Structure 1
Amino acid sequence: MMKKRNVKSIQGRQVVPNPIGPECIRVTKVYDWVVLTNRDRNKVQIPEECFAAIEDARHDGNTITATCSEVVGTRSCDFIGAIPANIPNVPGAQIVSLAFHVHIRVQFFCNGDPIPGCNFVVPVSFMDEVILCFPEGTEINCNIFDVQCTVVLNQMLGDMVVLDVTMCKDVQVEAEVKLEVEAKFCGPRPVIPIEEDGFICPTPRFPQQCPTFFPTLNCDCQGSADFTGEATISVTEGGIGGLTTGQLDLTALVCDQCTLSGSRIQVTFLDTLGPTPIGTPDADIDQSFTFTATDFNQPVCDLAAGTLTVTGTGTITPAGGLPENAGFSLALTDSDPSGDTATLTITGSSTVVMIILTEGANPGLEVEVEDCDRFPV
């Protein structure tokens, strides 16, 4: 009779310690990445036998239709060449020439039935020039990820038919590098000597990233403000104006999703004509305007105090006037439960706006300021 062994049950714990620590990994680093879209109308030749069949069918009063579609497995991309882009302060920027190719199948129908000899394949190509961060030591990786095609039957030119082709392409600049987990270059460890000194191989060098190009600049903090309602603000244009009351719609997102490119500020103010809060002689001036921010600098935050300040540029359009470039400064304070504030100053060539909102004086104001934890433990 076999004896039972004393087998311990599995407890769900590893015997060997497996602590979290810094690691060096070999990966393909993306130095730049763009998506391109081409749409063009291409004239293609209809085969002689097919064109004769189409003409006979039309002569007999039949209805002619046509379809076109991509031939699976025919997508290709060729790197043609590159020349320096000569963009100040951006070493490594190049004007890259690429050729994209695909084959399209065209099928004609007579009253819904395929016409014999009218199923043929034609090549379609697009040439693109695009500025990329393309430093020495990197490679171009491009591919076509979507193709749409339509036959434009009302533009048949003799024995030519027009194809409306849209092609979506993905272009990346890549190099194989060794990175720390938090995205820093790393090198090989020193060789452990055995007994005698030997030749020490130099640390490999990787292509340097093009500044300001890619990836999108991240932020250390993010914030938002939202207000819709009646407000008293200061608007002067050409030195005329001052305090005025009207309907204000303000939306501000700074570093949304912790990405600087996710920032936007949109302001619309509709002035209420009539006496201003202080009875100034400018009461009948329409001080309405719209403002849209276009460029943002990195915000500065004091998370302990719940504050965020950001500057940048945009476009302000006064009532009845022309759009003009303007700088802006936005200061947010997130102080719960009822101490939120938002101050926006807009300075154009002729128009100056000062908006000061507080949660007490402007019910409905919502302000949020928070940290961007880009590398959580």
Structure 2
Amino acid sequence: MKKRNVKSIQGRQVVPNPIGPECIRVTKVYDWVVLTNRDRNKVQIPEECFAAIEDARHEGNTITATCSEVAGTRSCDFIGATPANIPSVPGAQIVSLAFHVHIRVQFFCNGAPLPGCNFVVPVSFMDEVILCFPEGTEINCNIFDVQCTVVLNQMLGDMVVLDVTMCKDVQVEAEVKLEVEAKFCGPRPVIPIQEEGFVCPTQPFPQQCPTFFPTTNCLCQGAAEFNGEASILVFEDGLGGPTTGNLDLTALVCDQCTLSGSRIQVTYIDTLGPTPTPTGTPDADIDQSFTFTANDFSQPTCVTNAAGVVTGLTVTGTGVITPAGGVPENASFTLTLADADPLGDTATLLITGATSTVTIALTEVANPGLEVETGDCDRFPG
């Protein structure tokens, strides 16, 4: 791109402004969840309004109703917390919260407001949620959306049913001081004031619950895709062996560099026709079709070349395999990807269940159409 000749700004900007360590006071987020509640609440119709509704109905008129949130009435109360006692998430607490909002209800007769039929009722939800809530932190919760509908076909005498959906945001926070690499954005650097005398001890900050928030970013990521005819090994209850059929495999590991962005889905059809072709060999005549879905992933092990470039990865985890005509069963898996262009891509998936074992070994040469991509995760992009 051709540089333009631009005059430099004239002024007193002569003080150096290098990047260096700075201490900032910020609100640290220790945990963060979004909750959604939907419930039907029976509310009392005022006596005057109920009489007007009954009179209008007896005269053959059409009754409709609306409900909406009253602005400025959202509130959240912290009730208490108890230890969760979950071995896999040490430091977790079961936190009880109460959410409140006021709802305005209005009835109409043939589209016109009914006299005395504009009233406000309170609606509350109680929630219990597992949070990282160490001593010294505070709960910051708020309601960010409320939707309401009047269920007219469920009027119970002088009661009307409201269908209310409430969306809430809950954060565990504490004020901390952090040292960061930064530079001042003001016209001059701050001049520190040196103080002498008594030195106060440093104040410790609450310790983070490290096992479940924040989630650990991946160091590498990968993907594999194949759809076509393939030869694999399938055993069920000790029977089976090599089989050729249609394989549909999709694997994403640490998509967007987050472990939660991982998925593996496999569908294998033993024969391309509607029924297996008999061969006279008992093991070979078994329908070895199956599906597999992964539901839990460990952090992948990255493979790099001499230049430090990611060329492959291995990831393990658990999922569910469902044999043809069988019942779903829990299984463990190991997926290994190698990205070696051109024509050097490989993908190997080993699945082990209580009664089923599967070995899928694909190469770009033997399985044209196999696509494998792996790469580094830049967790702090510029």
1:274 is aligned, of 273, 277, 282, to 277
Distance 1:22 1:372, change over 3 A: farther
Secondary structure of 2:20 counterpart: coil
**In the TM superposition, what whole-angstrom CA distance separates every residue of 1:201-231 from its partner, at most 9, and x where no partner exists?**
2222111111222112211111111111111
Asked if 2 retains the 8 angstrom alpha-carbon contact of 1:45 and 1:161, the reply is: yes
Secondary structure of 2:221 counterpart: strand
Asked if 2 retains the 8 angstrom alpha-carbon contact of 1:311 and 1:329, the reply is: yes
Asked if 2 retains the 8 angstrom alpha-carbon contact of 1:256 and 1:263, the reply is: yes
Shift of 1:281: 4.3
> Which residue matches 2:117?
118
Asked if 1 retains the 8 angstrom alpha-carbon contact of 2:90 and 2:211, the reply is: no
Asked if 2 retains the 8 angstrom alpha-carbon contact of 1:136 and 1:207, the reply is: yes
Secondary structure of 1:257 counterpart: helix
Secondary structure of 2:67 counterpart: strand
> Which residue matches 1:331?
336
> Which residue matches 1:373?
378
**In the TM superposition, what whole-angstrom CA distance separates every residue of 1:47-100 from its partner, at most 9, and x where no partner exists?**
111111000000000010101011111100011111111122544311111110
Distance 1:96 1:323, change over 3 A: same
Shift of 1:40: 0.8
User: Matched residues in 2 for 1:353 and 1:12: separation?
Assistant: 68
**Is 2:81 the counterpart of 1:76?**
no
User: Matched residues in 2 for 1:221 and 1:215: separation?
Assistant: 18
Distance 1:76 1:149, change over 3 A: same
RMSD: 2.1
**In the TM superposition, what whole-angstrom CA distance separates every residue of 1:4-50 from its partner, at most 9, and x where no partner exists?**
xxxxx842596443333343322111111111111111111111111
Secondary structure of 2:367 counterpart: coil
Shift of 1:131: 1.1
User: Matched residues in 2 for 1:234 and 1:89: separation?
Assistant: 35
Asked if 2 retains the 8 angstrom alpha-carbon contact of 1:139 and 1:174, the reply is: yes
> Which residue matches 1:132?
131
Distance 1:375 1:167, change over 3 A: same
Distance 1:376 1:16, change over 3 A: farther
Shift of 1:181: 3.8
Shift of 1:357: 0.6
- Identity among equivalent positions (%) equals 83
Asked if 2 retains the 8 angstrom alpha-carbon contact of 1:274 and 1:283, the reply is: no
User: Matched residues in 2 for 1:238 and 1:171: separation?
Assistant: 48
Paired amino acid for 1:353: V
User: Matched residues in 1 for 2:281 and 2:205: separation?
Assistant: 65
**Is 2:357 the counterpart of 1:356?**
no
User: Matched residues in 2 for 1:41 and 1:374: separation?
Assistant: 44
Distance 1:89 1:232, change over 3 A: closer
User: 4+ residue runs of structure 1 moved beyond 6 angstroms?
Assistant: 191-194
> Which residue matches 2:189?
none
Residue pairs, 1:313-324, within 5 angstroms: 313-324=318-329
Distance 1:315 1:73, change over 3 A: same
User: Matched residues in 1 for 2:299 and 2:340: separation?
Assistant: 22
> Which residue matches 1:11?
8
Asked if 1 retains the 8 angstrom alpha-carbon contact of 2:248 and 2:267, the reply is: yes
> Which residue matches 1:306?
311
> Which residue matches 2:153?
154
Secondary structure of 1:23 counterpart: strand
Q: Which moved more, 1:168-177 or 1:16-25?
A: 16-25
Secondary structure of 2:163 counterpart: strand
Asked if 2 retains the 8 angstrom alpha-carbon contact of 1:103 and 1:124, the reply is: yes
Asked if 2 retains the 8 angstrom alpha-carbon contact of 1:217 and 1:261, the reply is: no
Secondary structure of 1:126 counterpart: strand
**Is 2:301 the counterpart of 1:290?**
no
Shift of 1:336: 1.1
**Is 2:179 the counterpart of 1:174?**
no
Distance 1:368 1:180, change over 3 A: farther
User: Matched residues in 1 for 2:98 and 2:121: separation?
Assistant: 16
Consecutive unaligned residues of structure 2, counting only runs of 5 or more, are 1-5, 182-192
Paired amino acid for 1:200: V
> Which residue matches 1:188?
none
**In the TM superposition, what whole-angstrom CA distance separates every residue of 1:328-370 from its partner, at most 9, and x where no partner exists?**
0000001112111000000111100000011111111111110
Structure-2-length-normalised TM-score = 0.89
> Which residue matches 1:249?
248
**Is 2:20 the counterpart of 1:21?**
yes
Shift of 1:275: 7.0
Shift of 1:256: 0.8
Structure-1-length-normalised TM-score = 0.90
Secondary structure of 2:39 counterpart: strand
User: Matched residues in 2 for 1:330 and 1:55: separation?
Assistant: 67
Asked if 1 retains the 8 angstrom alpha-carbon contact of 2:37 and 2:165, the reply is: yes
User: Matched residues in 1 for 2:316 and 2:24: separation?
Assistant: 38
Asked if 1 retains the 8 angstrom alpha-carbon contact of 2:317 and 2:334, the reply is: yes
Paired amino acid for 1:343: T
> Which residue matches 2:184?
none
User: Matched residues in 1 for 2:22 and 2:219: separation?
Assistant: 24
